[in-house]
Amino acid sequence: MRATAAARPWPHPRRRRCTRPHLPLRRWRPPSHPSPPSEEPDVRSQAIRWIGGSLLAAVLAGCAAPPANTPQEKTRSIAAGTTPPATGEVLGRSDRFVIYKPEPEDTLRSIAARFLGGEDRYWVIGDFNNISRVETGQPVVVPLKATNPMGVYADRIQTVPILCYHRFGNGGGKMVVSPANFERQLDWLARNDYHVIRLADLAAYLKGEQPLPRRSVVITIDDGYESVYRHALPVLRKHGFPATVFVYTDFIGAGEALSWAQLQELAASGLVDVQAHSKSHRNLIERAAGETDAQYAQGLEAEARAPRELIERRLPVRVRHYAYPFGDANDQVLEALNRQQYQLAVTVNPGGNAFFAQPLMLRRTMIFGDHDLEAFKARLQISRAVGGP
């Protein structure tokens, strides 16, 4: 019998926890206007070593100051490609940095379009200079190469929260988030310069190959309820935010589930990535009564292989990401996913993901229907203190 969100116990008491050594976690709540951690002194000194005395003072003042209390540039996740490149003066340049003097019409996006190959790289300049917008005549440093791809600083490390939703609607229990609350949450992310990234972006970050914006967050939605199409997609479109929908394929087309036609439209939106949540939603670490070792192994193989093959056959997507039913996994489950070439997999162990997170045991934080906006903010763990209690 197919499990439903209402019938399934949550969370499962025997969830497998990540056993890889990690840094101590300090209880953390984001302030109303969070300030990114300061840049590493050695990196910044390389950018300004070859600048003259008066320019050096100006650049240091601009880089060290906290973000001005000014309107922030709108966060977008999909490149519009409409911002004209900046045309101001280059005060100094090396193969790693540019010192640029903004003109009155310049924005972070226009400077990124000129020097970084695209306007959506504007966050690189903003994060490095600790600013949300440029000031006319105030020099900014443009890093041409990644300065800290793993997000490690003297006092803290960057972490990326992955949010987990299930259903959307009015009423229906803890697992159901109202459309109004979902919209308020995404509106708040946009207003506060959070960057909603694709789950796939974590792969290069975890390898130390590609930095991510300091306020990065991932949105995921489990099971494949029709309310994703009806309520979540319009809000995602409003902001241009991407999301990953994990479906268990036995559920597709049933009662309250998404149809294949709706999944086609979600995939065609350019915002929603459809990935695997198993075949039947069985708990992968539990055995059925009388199930032999061979039958258990065959069952795990089917739960990993069948959804990947079916989704790839019906939709124009590559399935490389997996959400464990009930968040549970053991060594045999991980081996089955490796054989099917999954690259990332998510649990429901809460918290943010640092550079040392295990790709097949990523942390993910549940968002419930009774969470108000303050509770939502408290679950956005974008950094973790080094040391301390």
pTM for the structure as a whole: 0.80
pLDDT in tens, 372-382: 999 999 999 99
Per-residue model confidence (pLDDT) at position 47: 52
pLDDT at 300: 98
Query: Domain coordinates of the chain in residue numbers?
Result: 41-143, 156-385
| Cα–Cα separations (whole angstroms), residue 168 to 41, 133, 176, 256 | 46, 35, 5, 11
Residue of higher predicted confidence among 88 and 172: 88
Q: How many CB atoms lie within 10 A of CB 260?
A: 13
Q: CA-CA distance, 364 to 341, in Å (whole number)?
A: 21
* pLDDT at residue 81, rounded to an integer: 52
**Mean pLDDT along residues 267-293:** 97
Q: Is the pLDDT of residue 29 over 90?
A: no
According to DSSP, the residues that pair with 221 across neighbouring strands are 165, 245
Closest by alpha carbon to 310, among 385, 260, 243?
Answer: 260
pLDDT of 64 above 90: no
When mean pLDDT is compared across 41-50, 188-197, 209-218, the lowest value belongs to 41-50
Q: What is the DSSP letter of 282?
A: -
Which residue did the predictor score with more confidence, 262 or 19?
A: 262
Residue 74 pLDDT class (50, 70, 90 cuts): very low
Instruction: Give dist(CA 284, CA 334) in Å, integer.
Output: 10
The architecture (CATH level 2) of 156-385 comes to: Alpha-Beta Barrel (3.20)
Q: Answer left, alpha or beta for residue 169, where phi above 0 means left and psi between -120 and 50 means alpha.
A: left
Encoding tokens for residue 9? 């116990």
State the CB neighbour count (10 A cutoff) for residue 167: 22
Residue 387's pLDDT is: 73
**Whole-angstrom Cα distance, residue 9 to residue 327?**
12
pLDDT at residue number 38? 41
Q: Is the pLDDT of residue 289 over 70?
A: yes
**DSSP states along 56-117:** HHHHHHHHHSPPPSSPPPPP-SS----SPPP--EEEEE-SSEEEEE--TT--HHHHHHHHSS
Distances (CA, A) of 85 to 94, 152, 281: 20, 31, 49
pLDDT over threshold 50, residue 67 = no
**Average pLDDT over every residue of 314-340:** 98
pLDDT digits (tens, 9 = 90+) for 120-156: 999 999 999 999 999 999 999 999 999 999 999 999 9
- CB burial string 88-119: b at 16+ within 10 A, e below: beebbeeeebbbbbbeeebbbbbbbbbbbeeb
pLDDT tens-digit readout, 149-189:
999 999 999 999 999 999 999 987 899 999 999 999 999 99
What is the reported pLDDT for 329?
A: 98
Closest CA to 305 of 283, 280, 329, 285: 280
Model confidence pLDDT, tens digit, residues 198-236: 999 999 999 999 999 999 999 999 999 999 999 999 999
15 compared with 128, residue with greater pLDDT: 128
Residue 362 to residue 162: CA distance in whole angstroms: 8
On the question of pLDDT at 306 being above 80, the answer is: yes
The proportion of the chain whose per-residue pLDDT surpasses 90, expressed as a percent, equals 76
